Amino acid sequence: MQEQKTNEMKFNITEIITRSPRLETVVMVEKFIKEHNGDFKKTELFNKLPKKIMWGTFNVILHYLYENNKIVMDREGFIVYVWNPEAIKKFINRKRY
């Protein structure tokens, strides 16, 4: 059985000009990724966003979402939304023996 592996995401937030994103910008990017789950690679996603933001800000947001286990990059480089609060609630509320 072949093991599925996700790519390590690169953010370059130390090498490019970054700005701290506003909450509404983070929410906009997260919502867009969720609605277009697995449809776009990083640069395509940046170009398709409903509002334009700086590349550095975009990388800061992706880094935040990645570090909080909300997104991953698949083997081919597509951004996939993986956050599932319903599954987490079930896991937290299950009985332990």
In a domain, 13, yes or no: no
Answer yes or no: pTM beyond 0.85: no
Each residue of 15-41: pLDDT tens digit? Answer: 666 678 999 999 999 999 999 999 999
DSSP bridge pairs for 42:
none
Q: Nearest to residue 83, comparing CAs of 33, 42, 41, 44?
A: 33
The total domain count for the chain is 1
Residue 8 lies in a domain: no
- State the pLDDT at residue 87: 76
Q: Across residues 62-66, what is the average pLDDT?
A: 95
Q: For residue 72, tell me if it sits in a domain.
A: yes
The residue among 52, 97, 41, 45 whose CA lies nearest residue 74 is 41
Question: Each residue of 39-61: pLDDT tens digit?
Answer: 999 999 999 999 999 999 999 99
Decide if 71 is inside a domain: yes
Could you tell me if residue 17 is inside a domain? no
The CATH number of the domain where 28 resides is what? 1.10.10.10
Is residue 6 situated within a structural domain? no
Q: Which domain holds residue 63?
A: 23-93
- What is the Cα 16 distance to its own chain's centre? 19
Per-residue pLDDT, 92: 75
Cα(90)–Cα(87) distance, integer angstroms = 5
Q: Strand pairing partners for 79?
A: 73
Answer whether residue 55 is part of any domain: yes
Residues contacting 81, CB < 8 A, separation 6+:
30, 33, 34, 37, 38, 70, 71
